């Protein structure tokens, strides 16, 4: 007999109904648990009796309870049959992949921490092919895992079980580019770096820049609402994406591929899919507003003795550089140690506790350099920075940017890495690093902090020689409780994926999460699109009742 769990929320309580099928009986109780504590709630059903136990996860190294980030039980989706393969091969001749060796890289995430067991990889080239595939999968109750460049860091881009992988890799055509307005329309599988090169030849740039630009796809960028290094200057994808083409779970094509800067006719439906991580629809094409390529680019690498000085430098920078400021990034001395030790990158300035990468982009080199000179003069005179270097040539600019962009790469040489992407009030972002070091003591190999000061986004990384459940128990939920206490967000730009789905209540009220579940149920009533991701388990379970 199947058992289902239904959870409903009020302001003060969560109500849990344990329902056995057929619906002849139900046990229901109320627990005085705030929504943020639901990660510690477990229900078991034994011999027709309900037993509730409220157990805090990670309370000790010897605890056997799974982490909220662990995969839930497989939902009742169908399994791929030979008849299904015949259908897929008919639609995608030569592009239906079943070879385990070829599937290997698509079944494991970039961090090598999440591994699925999909036996089918589909590589469509057109929206029509995607439509046929999703229509069929929906009718057959086959789960589908949308996949772009597979550069995600929260387990959102790979299967959890045997979901069919639907890849955008061959959907890589640029459809149109308007040289007057700067609006680019392209398929979802275009690699971000390729789009950047295409635009630079036409005196434009992408408003988005990421360390993973050589691999990530624009469709995946939009689906995760990727932030990146240029958000300070050009804003988020919610503002620069003008239109989307999306295939819904039942195969219907939603054509909202607008190229207008202004369109105030009803609901802005594209916003539903930006940041939805492939759980509401499969993005097939994107139109995006691109800025002109700057004629003058300068990068400054500075050292600060304290984080307070770093923040004061940021304030001075915004006031004196104004309209030409395009990035303000930071990394700490632990990051620099990793870069020097593992990647052999030489520190371009004297050793400091904190380092800053500042980029300016403008149209008048003389004007920009004068503003930059005035800023540096004031920063040095005020003793806000202790050392620095300036780059104007492309090769040196790339060298200085590598000090920030390659931190993630350097961390892979340090052992197992626990990665966190937090949004906080700017004045609090490094306090979390300091408090985490104090909290963990000597249990971690290293605790490093870097990120985007301009938008309050901290990347906190904790390393150990190997995967360590005791260390994880010390990190979570401490880090999420700390973030929630500052009214921060547990995910600034990486998304929730598989790993953070059950922690959503630390950042969103229960009413908002419930509404998200309603939207999911409306657009994907069978829950076939990227299951086990983004929404917490109780919401996903509710969809399958």
Q: What's the per-residue H, E or C state across 497-519?
A: CCCCHHHHHHCCCHHHHHHHHHH
State the pLDDT at residue 30.
Answer: 33
Burial (0-12, 13-18, 19+ Cβ within 10 Å), 55: exposed
State the pLDDT at residue 61.
Answer: 36
Confidence tier at 544 by pLDDT (50, 70, 90): low
Do 272 and 143 belong together in one domain?
yes
The region of weakest confidence among 8-22, 364-378, 435-449 is 8-22
Residue at a domain's end among 261, 293, 325: 293
The 354-362 sheet, strands edge to edge: 387-391, 296-304, 354-362, 325-332, 446-452, 457-464, 416-423
Do 377 and 449 belong together in one domain?
no
Question: How do residues 230-283 score in pLDDT, each as one tens digit?
Answer: 888 899 999 999 999 999 999 999 999 989 999 999 999 999 999 999 999 999
Tell me which residue range forms the domain holding 259.
87-293
Q: What percent of the chain has pLDDT over 70?
A: 88
Is 28 part of any domain? Answer: no
State the pLDDT at residue 538.
Answer: 87
Angle, CA of 52, 53 and 54, to the nearest 5°: 125
DSSP strand E in 137-281: where? 144-147, 164-167, 174-178, 183-187, 241-247, 253-256
Average pLDDT, the chain: 87
State the pLDDT at residue 62.
Answer: 39
Is 102 part of any domain? Answer: yes
Confidence tier at 154 by pLDDT (50, 70, 90): very high
Determine the Cα–Cα distance for residues 195 and 107; give it in Å rounded to an integer: 26
Do 437 and 457 belong together in one domain?
yes
Is 472 part of any domain? Answer: yes
Angle, CA of 377, 378 and 381, to the nearest 5°: 85
- 7 vs 126, more confident: 126
Do 310 and 274 belong together in one domain?
no
- 541 vs 40, more confident: 541
What are 230's two structure tokens? 């240029």
Is 24 part of any domain? Answer: no
pTM of the shown model: 0.84
Q: At what angle do helices 365-381 and 307-321 cross, to 10 degrees?
A: 150
Question: How do residues 296-354 score in pLDDT, each as one tens digit?
Answer: 999 999 999 999 999 999 999 999 999 999 999 999 999 999 999 999 999 999 999 99
Report whether pLDDT(40) > 60: no
Residue at a domain's end among 386, 407, 428: 407
Is 516 part of any domain? Answer: no
Question: How do residues 44-85 score in pLDDT, each as one tens digit?
Answer: 232 232 222 222 322 333 344 677 888 899 999 999 999 999
CATH code, domain with 192: 3.30.465.10
CA distances from 211 to 94, 144, 192, 415, 473 (A): 32, 27, 10, 20, 29
DSSP strand E in 210-324: where? 241-247, 253-256, 282-289, 296-304
Do 110 and 258 belong together in one domain?
yes
Determine the Cα–Cα distance for residues 529 and 280; give it in Å rounded to an integer: 7
What are 29's two structure tokens? 């109780």
If you search the block for the tokens 């500075």, which residue do you land on? 302
């Amino acid at each position: 007999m199947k058992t289902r769990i239904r959870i409903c929320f009020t302001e003060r309580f969560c109500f849990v109904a344990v329902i056995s099928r057929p619906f002849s009986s139900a046990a229901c109780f109320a627990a005085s648990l705030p929504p943020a504590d639901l990660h510690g709630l477990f229900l078991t059903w034994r011999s027709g009796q309900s037993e509730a136990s409220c157990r805090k996860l990670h309370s000790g190294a010897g605890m056997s309870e799974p982490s909220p980030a662990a995969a839930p039980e497989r939902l009742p989706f169908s399994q791929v049959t030979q008849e299904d393969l015949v259908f897929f091969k008919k639609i995608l001749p030569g592009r239906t992949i079943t070879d385990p060796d070829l599937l290997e890289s698509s079944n494991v995430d970039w961090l090598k921490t999440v591994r699925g067991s999909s036996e089918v990889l589909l590589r469509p080239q057109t929206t029509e092919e995607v439509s046929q595939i999703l229509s069929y999968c929906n009718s057959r109750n086959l789960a589908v895992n949308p996949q772009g460049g597979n550069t995600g860091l929260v387990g959102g881009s790979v299967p959890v079980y045997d979901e069919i992988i639907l890849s955008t890799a061959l959907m890589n055509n640029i459809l149109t580019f308007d040289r007057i307005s700067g609006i680019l329309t392209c398929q979802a599988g275009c690699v971000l770096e390729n789009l950047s090169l295409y635009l630079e030849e036409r005196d434009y740039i992408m408003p988005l820049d990421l360390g993973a630009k050589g691999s990530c796809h624009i469709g995946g960028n939009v689906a995760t609402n990727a932030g990146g290094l240029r958000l300070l200057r050009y804003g988020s994808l919610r503002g620069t994406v003008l239109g989307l083409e999306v295939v819904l779970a039942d195969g219907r094509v939603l054509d909202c591929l607008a190229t207008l800067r202004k369109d105030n006719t009803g609901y802005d439906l594209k916003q539903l899919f930006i940041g939805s991580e492939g759980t509401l629809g499969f993005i097939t094409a994107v139109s995006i507003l691109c800025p002109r390529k700057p004629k003058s680019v300068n990068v400054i690498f500075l050292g600060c003795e304290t984080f307070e000085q770093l923040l004061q430098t940021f304030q001075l920078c915004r006031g004196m550089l104004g309209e030409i400021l395009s990035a303000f990034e930071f990394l700490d001395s632990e990051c620099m140690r990793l870069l020097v030790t593992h990647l052999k990158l030489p520190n371009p300035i004297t050793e400091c506790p904190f380092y800053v990468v500042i980029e300016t982009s403008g149209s008048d080199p003389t004007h920009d350099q004068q503003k930059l000179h005035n800023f540096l003069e004031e920063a040095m005179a005020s003793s806000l920075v202790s050392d620095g270097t300036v780059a104007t040539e492309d090769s040196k600019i790339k060298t200085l940017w590598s000090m920030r962009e390659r931190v993630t790469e350097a961390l892979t040489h340090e052992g197992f890495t626990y990665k966190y992407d937090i949004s906080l009030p700017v004045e609090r972002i490094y306090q979390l690093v300091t408090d985490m070091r104090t909290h963990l003591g000597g249990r971690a190999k290293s605790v490093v902090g870097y990120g985007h000061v301009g938008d309050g986004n901290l990347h906190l990384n904790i390393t150990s020689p190997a995967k360590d459940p005791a260390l994880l128990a010390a990190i979570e939920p401490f880090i999420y409780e700390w973030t929630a206490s500052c009214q921060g967000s547990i995910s600034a730009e990486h998304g929730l994926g598989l790993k953070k789905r059950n922690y959503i209540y630390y950042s969103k009220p229960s009413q908002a999460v419930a509404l998200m579940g309603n939207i999911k149920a409306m657009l994907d009533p069978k829950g076939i699109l990227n299951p086990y991701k983004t929404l917490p388990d109780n919401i996903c379970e509710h969809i399958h009742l």
